[in-house]
Structure 1
Amino acid sequence: MLRSEFELLLNKTFSPSRFQDYAPNGLQVEGKKEINRVVTGVTASQALINAAIDYKADAIFVHHGYFWKNEDPRIMGMKYRRIAALIKNDINLYGYHLPLDAHPALGNNAGLANAIGLINRSGLQVGVAIEESIGIVGELIEPVSADVFRRMIETAVDRNVLFERVNDQTIQRVALCTGGAQSYIEQAVAAGADVFITGEVSEQTIHIAREMGIHFVAAGHHATERFGARSVAAYLTNECGLDAVFVDIENPA
């Protein structure tokens, strides 16, 4: 597939123009014209680039790419080494941030919702998408205790989580928004959720959870955002005929 065709495919799939994002979505570093092998991952770290070089990939697809708003624009140090490795090896870098969070089938939030079996889903409005929300509100088939729910989440993300249990109420209505979305806890309360799941936690979030009576889960920024890149690799392989593989660079955050 030509590089231009690949970007058209991704833009058609993720519709980045719908989002007011913090970094450019789409092709961020240009490489070879023809793409057959793709590595997907959460973040375009040096370790992921090295894995792509070893895999002889033509392109990398990530959730966290480069050129974030308000960052130092100079290409020096770590940024230079990363970009130099991409250019030297003629590897294209594609980054899709909020569009990958929001995609109803391939997205991070959809993947986490699938993993815990949410039904009757609707959007959790967080004010960053023009046409649709990024987070999800849904329900478990039946109520479960906080202890059971914690085990469900830890199985879904394959790691221990921070779980702030605020009362003895069972959990059925769930709100979630992966990554660094801890500030959306009040939207979760407004949506009538029994629990809010995200990736990170801030000090004040625990107080909000306690005072507003909503269970809170910080399941890891990286852990909650592996779902999208993994789904994209499967999609590119099974639906688009490319040789794509998800590479998980371990990260405890």
Structure 2
Amino acid sequence: MSIARDDLLARFDALLEPGRFKDYGPNGLQVEGRARISRIVSGVTASRALIDAAIEARADALLVHHGLFWRGMDGCITGWLKQRIQRLLAHDINLFAYHLPLDAHPELGNNAQLGQRLGWQWEARFGEYELGFAAPCDIASAQLLAQHVGLVLGRQVTLVAPEGEPRRIRRVAWCSGGAQDWFESAIAAGADAFITGEISEPQAHLARETGVAFIAAGHHASERYGAPAVAAHVAQELGLEHHFIDIDNPA
């Protein structure tokens, strides 16, 4: 079975509501390919490796979280950008990309899916566009929480724990990707620990001074789940084929 490209775009847009967001780049169809689609490949980033894998999988469309175009780019189609676009056009593959909308979806988005895998059903959201999620939990210490996160995500995480006696984690907050600047919002939301993808220098001091633990679990690792969840959901609805391809990234 196949579907028209514009109909697939309309279904993605209806589900993810990109019009609600002022984003860092365009959401929706970024590169136009063939008019009809039967096979979707999903992944995190529209890298050359993922595009080549999609070509190998004979994809008609690629759905990603990190697309090709971002605010502040100079607009020149050269170098690595030319190579990626050239491959998509040569093989007539449509590229769909959704950034903040794919973080925010309450069931299929990166944050909802990350929480599910870590064993939490969110009960509150915070911050701009409510991208921050929070849930009750009961874990004896930040060290045990970090071990749990690392085990689930299959990677070593960075933990900055408060000084002094271990603090029991009764409320956890999280926001996938590069959301380290959301730490203060998580603290204000009553979190005992905050999980995101990356850490910058100020967050280490805040964790030690506020008593709230900070866990950096990897940008890619924390955002592996939204694109395949959305693509699988839409593919099942429309009778399309879907494959998730995870291109490993240490960041």
TM-score (normalizing by structure 1): 0.94
Number of residue pairs the alignment of both structures matches: 247
Q: Matched residues in 2 for 1:195 and 1:213: separation? A: 9
Is contact 2:162–2:210 with CA below 8 Å preserved after alignment?
no
Q: Is the 8 A contact 2:157 2:216 kept in 1?
A: yes
Does residue 1:148 correspond to 2:150, yes or no?
Answer: no
Deviation track 1:173-217 (CA, whole Å, cap 9, x = no partner) reads: 011000000001000110110001000010111111111111000
Q: Equivalent residue for 1:242?
A: 240
Q: Is the 8 A contact 1:124 1:175 kept in 2?
A: no
Contact kept, 8 Å, 1:165 with 1:216, in 2: the verdict is yes
Q: Does 1:3 align with 2:2?
A: no
Question: What does 1:90-101 correspond to in 2, within 5 Å?
Answer: 90-101=92-103
State the partner residue of 1:137. Answer: 134
User: What root-mean-square deviation, in Å, do the aligned CA atoms of Structure 1 and Structure 2 show?
Assistant: 1.2
Question: In 2, Cα distance between the equivalents of 1:66 and 1:76?
Answer: 12
Out of 202, 218, 223, the position equivalent to 1:225 is 223
Answering whether residue 192 of structure 2 is matched by residue 194 of structure 1, we say yes
User: Which residue of the partner structure matches residue 104 of structure 1?
Assistant: 106
CA–CA distance in structure 2, aligned partners of residues 111 and 156 of structure 1: 12
Residues 120 and 235 from structure 1, CA distance in 2 versus in 1: closer, same or farther, beyond 3 angstroms? closer
- Contact 1:59/1:91 (<8 A) preserved: yes
Asked whether the equivalents of residues 112 and 156 of structure 1 are also in contact (C-alpha less than 8 Å), the reply is no
Does structure 1 retain, via aligned residues, the 8 Å contact 2:140–2:167? no
Please, which runs of 5 or more residues in structure 1 have no aligned partner? none
Quote the offset at 1:155 in angstroms: 2.2
Classify the secondary structure of the residue corresponding to 2:238. Answer: coil
Task: Tell me the secondary structure at the aligned position of residue 225 of structure 2.
Answer: helix
Structure 1 stretch displaced more, 115-124 or 177-186: 115-124
SS of alignment partner, residue 63 of structure 2:
strand
The answer to whether 1:173 aligns with 2:171 is yes
Query: Which amino acid counterpart does residue 89 of structure 2 have in structure 1?
Result: I
Task: Pick from 24, 27, 30 the counterpart of residue 29 of structure 2.
Answer: 27
Counterpart of 1:60 in 2: which secondary structure? strand
Q: For 1:83 and 1:157, locate their aligned partners in 2 and report how far apart those are by CA, in whole Å.
A: 31
What displacement does 1:147 show? 2.8
2:249 aligns to what?
Answer: 251
Q: Among the aligned pairs, what percent are the same residue?
A: 48
The 3-state SS of whatever aligns with 1:226 is: coil
Partners of 1:166 and 1:240 in 2: CA distance: 49
Q: What is the CA distance between 1:230 and its match in structure 2?
A: 2.4
CA distance in 2, matches of 1:150, 1:111: 18
Amino acid of the structure 2 residue aligned with 1:156: V
* TM norm structure 2: 0.95
Which ranges of structure 2 fall in alignment gaps of 5 or more residues? none
Answer yes or no: is the 8 Å Cα contact 1:236–1:244 preserved in 2. Answer: no
1:7-156 pair list within 5 angstroms = 7-119=9-121, 121-125=123-127, 127=128, 129=129, 133-140=130-137, 142-156=138-152
Over 3 Å counting, the alpha-carbon distance change for 1:119 and 1:232 in structure 2 is closer
Secondary structure of the corresponding residue to residue 133 of structure 2: strand
* Residue identity in the other structure for 2:171: R
Q: Is the 8 A contact 2:192 2:212 kept in 1?
A: yes
Q: Is the 1:163–1:216 Cα contact (8 Å) retained in structure 2?
A: yes
CA distance in 2, matches of 1:226, 1:206: 25
